Amino acid sequence: MFKNTISNLTRIRQVAEVLLRYGFEDIVTSTPLRRLVSQSRRLSWQREERPVFETTRWERVRLIIEELGPTFIKLAQAMSNRADLLPQGLIDEFEKLQSNVPPFDVALARQIIEEELGRPIVEVFSEFDDNTLGSASIGQVHRARLLTGEEVVVKIQRPGVQQKVKSDLALLHELVRLTAGFLRNHGLSNPQDIVEAFERSMSKELDYTAEARSMEQFRKLYADYTEFYIPKPFREWSTSRILVIEFVSGCKITDKARLLEWELSPETVAETGMDIYLTQIFEFGIFHADPHPGNVLVQPDGRLVLIDFGMVGRLTKQQKYAFAGVFIGMARQDARSMALNFRRLAITAEIPDMRAFESDLSQLIEDFATLDVKEMSMSDLADALQGIIYTYKLQVPGAVFLILRALVILEGIGKVLHPSFNTFEFVRPYGVKIIKEQYSRDNILSEAQYTGAQLLALIQTLPTDIRQIVRKISKGELRVKVELSGYQQLLRKADQLVSRTILALLCVGGLLFSGLSLLGRYSPAMPYHRGVPEITWWSLGTTGFLLLVLFLLGLRKK
């Protein structure tokens, strides 16, 4: 325990020095972090002979994240999808982050496989390529062949990465605790919740069985689709640290030259890809959250293949309807409908001025309604929607930002392959389909059954609850707990006023006593100074001290 504490202090001191190096002295000097960095160790605010202040503040944040390492990069990449929490400038910088980590020794990779499977590697694979297909901060990928003949790729987790991530997460919790006040003053109201959500996300990413389950779920959903394929995971050879997946060949979806060489229509490929993705969102409510070109392959027969299911987003049925309602309201130029669907979509939506909210949505509609179809951009719309979410502090599901980001990526892919590609034209029919589904007889019946079940449960428990309340009333045991919030400042002010009033009354009383003491008749033993009784001097001195205290309290800043 002591060793971990010393290690954390050393790492926190390193973080504080990096913050100082990039000009964020305010974060250190205005928080308890300042106690961890001595004056002699304050480093020059330079990087590669370039003054740090020649860069923007958000760029310096990105440079800090890059220097702190993979766990912090992962957190920043996750935060780049949260436009409800961060300003757009910082999100733009976070999107530039890349986890460029060199591969680890193949001998270690082989050792991990044998440790996880409990047998020599030759008893599982007839071939194992020592060259990596790819490397990241969590693991790396090798190509291999099973003894049964299937070609596979093997994803192997980096040695010690779980301990490293665990240590960095503990550090993040400690940093948030030390800088919570500073972060709240800068608009980040729940930093601890963000770290906890990131911790849950990292726990899933470090468990490769979760990715295997997601792949199996997608394979079931798309079992009847001939134009779309998901590789098969081999669960019998997979663990939490290694994942064996069917190898599937193909070219990147943006490789237009190869598509033409295979006599495939790039326009058709782009349209098929968008339809498949929108099906994931609006029909199944579960979607691949990272469809960049390297994760979307095309085979010579035109079939699309999705790989790397480390990031998967999910929407509930109600969230799906509300998200579609935002786009439908925009298409109908109905700001009120957009506002209502935003409130349905949000986890918590405390909007103090709904008229201003509707007005901003109406302005957004006007900005996009005047554009020609060819001028409309999903990227611009995503930025506008995220700006409104950030301005009004709407806490919407994280899946919403993953969808917007994915649609922007897919639009970029589409424009490479399809000169007249327009995302909105693909979304529109799905909006109509969602409306029909939402108000279909089956869905209304399902909602009615759910509401009926809830009412039935209430009716069943109500007599028991009433009986318990009556019993407590009859025994005098019923207690009502009232919790007032938001009055702390008022109570502190009232306490100050009462204290000052008491001091003022004591001063008045002291002055009155001093005056009356001059009229008193005292015994010959009472000492006098300058013709005034000593008791009067004592009274005046005490009163003067109380007046000084009262004066100083009045000078205190608010």
Closest CA to 301 of 254, 255, 264: 264
- Helix (H) or strand (E) run with residue 140 in it: strand 139-146
pLDDT of residue 353: 79
pLDDT of residue 13: 73
Whether pLDDT at 146 is above 50 = yes
Q: Which of 18-27, 206-215, 489-498 has the highest mean pLDDT?
A: 206-215
Whether pLDDT at 41 is above 60 = no
CA–CA distance, 177 with 126 (Å, rounded to integer): 51
pLDDT of residue 503: 79
CA–CA distance, 236 with 229 (Å, rounded to integer): 21
Alpha-carbon dihedral of residues 326, 331, 332, 333, nearest 10 degrees?
A: 80
Whether pLDDT at 486 is above 60 = no
pLDDT tens profile 259-310: 999 999 999 999 899 889 888 988 888 988 888 888 899 999 999 999 888 8
**What angle do helix axes 266-279 and 398-417 make, rounded to 10 degrees?**
170
What are the φ/ψ torsions at residue 304 (nearest 5 degrees)? Answer: -90, 145
Q: Which of 221-225, 408-412, 553-557 has the highest mean pLDDT?
A: 221-225
CA distance readout (Å), 251 to 179, 306, 379, 413:
47, 12, 26, 14
